[in-house]
């Protein structure tokens, strides 16, 4: 083939350049377009008060209890995080190093100077900041996490604000599946004739809620984070709502259902979002769903490292299952490398290696810079092994493969319906 790559140094350069220059589709984030106003978190104070860094600071903080630390005003809390993790200690953790990567790549002259970091972003409008970060991160589009039961967010959707095509929605339905007794009255208040004890008539009303919000949001997928105890088949409220309302609506609207499995909510409640833990899940539930609902498309990311290998085996068996990202506690280079390697070894390019899970706009820069480094390294290794055996990748083949991994395969999977 033309442009065959035979030399390992050339291979490394071609792969690294291609991974860097290929825009990423970020299939799961918690950031918002500027139309959502204060819901879009951005800038150094938000970077420093990320719940990962709150938890890491809490571990070594002498002068405050967890509750007192978490109750501090944001600016004061951010300064304490900076002092604790960036001055008294070195930012060697992934979340700490991520702040430095983001500040450096976003143009802060001295990444040791917090005041300079604050000054760099002062006066930047949300729209300017979004453009700056998407360009610096080379992210072409993101999928948000959208909760119609969040009053602040619902108001923006109901006002019908301008849509930013770079920000696609995801209809997030955790409360409906994992806390129906609390969700039922909230749906009822919104005009859906549902009841806590789930009589037959409630399922069409839950379906109507999902259809109404899917029509408004035009989501890429429906999603829920699920506990390690998630089990299917199941006659629980979760099992019944999933099979009798959620999956039928997903089939009807040709939308995948994204399962994010393994979170143990609030094992350390004082830390808020930083207080969630991880538990090994029973992925037989995923096997049951993929086999029993072949007309549904499923997206999956799992939180326990111990679940990753079985998830890859399941993806190899079921073409209606697509794995995405190295989620949360897995989003550390040592584990991203392990997971990406085992996915390529069993799935080739039919998966999505990473999502950022960014909660703060600027995090896109570091989460993608750090991920691209690992993805490129694993690809170089795998192509090199082919070169050893006389199979020489063409540059256009490397371009094609990288485009698949950076979002192309995800789009192909979604278009299957």
Residues that bind ligand HDL (CB under 6 A): 30, 145, 225, 260, 273, 276, 328, 357, 359
Of all residues in this chain, which one has the CB nearest to Zn ion in the complex? 357
253/268 Cα distance (integer angstroms): 38
Q: What is the DSSP letter of 243?
A: I
Smallest Cα–Cα separation from 308: which of 277, 358, 346, 276?
A: 346
Cα angle vertex 156, ends 155, 158, to 5°? 65
Q: Which residues pair with 225 in a beta bridge?
A: 260
Q: Which of 360, 370, 368, 358 minimizes the C-alpha distance to 143? A: 358
For the chain, what's the residue count? 417
- 357 touches Zn ion (CB under 5 A): yes
**Binding segment toward Zn ion, per CB under 5 A, in 18-26, 226-234, 330-338, 350-358:** 350-358
Residue 168, H or E segment: strand 167-168
In terms of CB distance, is 272 or 408 closer to ligand HDL? 272
C-alpha span between 65 and 71 (Å, rounded): 10
Minimal distance in Å, beta carbon 359 to Zn ion?
A: 8
Residue nearest to ligand HDL (CB): 225
Is the separation of the CB atoms in 142 and 168 below 8 Å? yes
Report the nearest approach of Zn ion to the CB of residue 248 (Å). Answer: 25
Q: Which does 359 bind (CB under 5 to 8 A by kind): ligand HDL, Zn ion, none?
A: ligand HDL
The β-bridge relationship of strands 139-143 and 24-26 is parallel
417 binding partner (options Zn ion, ligand HDL, none; Cβ < 5 to 8 Å by kind)? none
Identity of the residue, 355 or 372, whose beta carbon is nearer to ligand HDL in the bound complex: 355
Of the two residues 32 and 114, which places its CB atom closer to ligand HDL in the complex? 32
Q: How far is the CB of 356 from ligand HDL (least distance, A)?
A: 9
Type and span of the H or E element at 77 = helix 74-81
Residue 357: CB minimum distance to ligand HDL, A:
4
For 163, which DSSP code?
P
Work out how close the CB of 173 gets to ligand HDL at its nearest, in angstroms, rounded to a whole number: 12
393-411 core/surface letters (b: 16 or more CB in 10 A; e: else) = bebeebbebbbbbbbbbbe
We find the least distance from the C-beta atom of residue 192 to Zn ion, in angstroms, to be: 26
Smallest gap from Cβ 3 to Zn ion, in A, equals: 39
- Taking the least distance from each CB to ligand HDL, the nearer of 173 and 207 is 173
Which range of residues in 8-16, 101-109, 131-139, 354-362 is near Zn ion by CB under 5 A? Answer: 354-362
Nearer to Zn ion, 357 or 401 (CB): 357
* Residues near Zn ion, by CB under 5 A: 357
């Amino acid at each position: 083939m033309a442009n065959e790559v035979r030399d390992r140094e050339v291979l490394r350069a071609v792969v690294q350049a291609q991974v860097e220059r290929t825009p990423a589709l970020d299939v799961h984030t918690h950031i918002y377009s500027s139309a959502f106003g204060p819901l879009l978190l951005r800038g150094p104070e938000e970077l420093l008060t990320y719940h990962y860094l709150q938890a890491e600071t809490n571990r070594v903080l002498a002068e405050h209890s967890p509750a007192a630390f978490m109750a501090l005003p944001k600016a004061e809390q951010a300064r304490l995080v900076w002092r604790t993790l960036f001055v008294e200690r070195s930012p060697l953790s992934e979340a700490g190093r991520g702040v430095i990567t983001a500040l450096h790549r976003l143009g802060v002259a001295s990444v040791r100077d917090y005041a300079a970091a604050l000054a760099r972003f002062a006066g930047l409008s949300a729209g300017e900041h979004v453009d700056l970060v998407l360009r610096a991160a080379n992210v072409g589009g993101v999928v948000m996490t959208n909760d119609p039961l969040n009053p602040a967010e619902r108001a923006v959707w109901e006002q019908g604000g301008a849509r930013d095509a770079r920000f696609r929605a995801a209809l997030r339905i955790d409360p409906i599946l994992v806390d129906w007794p609390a969700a039922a009255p909230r749906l009822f208040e919104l005009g859906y004739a549902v009841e806590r004890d789930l009589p037959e008539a409630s399922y069409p009303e839950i379906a109507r809620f999902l259809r109404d919000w899917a029509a408004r949001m035009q989501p890429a997928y429906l999603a829920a984070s699920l506990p390690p105890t998630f089990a299917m088949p199941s006659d629980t409220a979760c099992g019944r709502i999933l099979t009798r309302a959620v999956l039928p609506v997903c089939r009807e609207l040709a939308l995948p259902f994204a399962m994010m499995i393994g979170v143990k909510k609030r094992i350390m409640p004082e830390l808020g979002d930083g207080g969630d833990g991880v538990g090994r899940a029973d992925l037989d539930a995923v096997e049951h769903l993929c086999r029993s609902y072949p007309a549904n498309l499923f997206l999956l990311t799992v939180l326990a490292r111990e679940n990753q290998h079985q998830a890859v085996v399941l993806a190899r068996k079921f073409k209606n299952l697509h794995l995405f990202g190295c989620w949360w506690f897995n989003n550390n280079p040592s584990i991203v490398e392990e997971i990406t390697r085992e996915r390529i070894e069993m799935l080739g390019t039919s998966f999505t290696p990473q999502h950022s899970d960014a909660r703060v706009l600027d995090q896109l820069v570091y989460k993608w810079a750090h991920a691209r480094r690992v993805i490129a390294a694993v690809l170089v290794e795998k192509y090199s092994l082919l070169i050893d055996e006389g199979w020489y990748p063409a540059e256009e083949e490397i371009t094609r493969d990288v485009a698949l991994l950076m979002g192309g395969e995800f789009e192909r999977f979604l278009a299957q319906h």
